[in-house]
């Protein structure tokens, strides 16, 4: 494919017609990272609440955001997600939090945007909850890691 399908012949935005596309099982996994000061990460991990509320809150925010993707991204189709899972992991090497979001549905369009939106909003939520102690966090490396189903079949970023 070598044109921007979200634009019509006049270069105007539109929500493309997917009514002729096949309904198949589709999944997509997206990732994002929140880089932070090591002491900020320690606060998330420690303090009597291992796997405590920062990560739990961000997980919920990500799951809820996935469902609202078509309200946020103008040309996304509404769709009926059958599964959303958001994992957050403290990574002392980064240092920071690594996020992976997976969405699934049987439908006519892929779920990359839903997975990306879940990962992005989970990252923003981590940022929000830690910004009082760390103003220099950076959200980075937000991308689609892999997807399955649809006309183009299985695909992963690294191959």
Check if 128 is active-site.
yes
Which residues in 105-124 contact a second copy (CB under 8 A)?
105-106, 108, 112-113, 116-117, 120-121, 123-124
Q: Among 22, 38, 92, 143, which residue sits at the site for a second copy (rule: CB under 8 A)?
A: 143
Query: Nearer Cβ to a second copy, position 9 or 92?
Result: 9
Shortest CA distance to 110 belongs to which of 141, 85, 76?
76
Least CB distance to a second copy at residue 93 (A): 18
Strand partners, 26: 105
Which residues in 62-91 contact a second copy (CB under 8 A)?
63-68, 70-87
| Omega cis (within 30) before 95 | yes
Asked if 97 contacts 33 with a C-beta cutoff of 8 angstroms, the reply is yes
Does 28 help bind a second copy (rule: CB under 8 A)? no
Q: If DSSP codes are grouped into helix, strand and coil, which group holds residue 21? A: coil
Give me the residue label for tokens 């992976």: 100
Task: Provide the annotated active-site residues.
Answer: 128
């Amino acid at each position: 494919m070598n044109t921007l399908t979200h634009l019509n012949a006049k270069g105007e935005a539109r929500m493309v017609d997917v009514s002729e596309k096949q309904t198949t099982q589709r999944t997509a996994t997206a990732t994002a990272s929140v880089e932070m000061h090591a002491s900020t990460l320690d606060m998330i991990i420690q303090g009597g609440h291992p796997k405590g509320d920062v990560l739990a809150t961000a997980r919920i925010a990500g799951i809820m955001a996935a469902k609202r993707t078509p309200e946020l991204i103008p040309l996304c189709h509404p769709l009926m997600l059958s599964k959303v899972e958001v994992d957050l992991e403290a990574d002392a090497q980064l240092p920071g939090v690594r996020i992976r979001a997976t969405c699934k549905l049987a439908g006519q369009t892929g779920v990359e945007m839903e997975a990306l939106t879940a990962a992005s909003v989970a990252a923003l939520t981590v940022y929000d909850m830690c910004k009082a102690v760390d103003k220099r966090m950076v959200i980075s490396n937000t991308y689609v890691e892999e997807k399955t189903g649809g006309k183009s079949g299985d695909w992963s970023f690294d191959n």
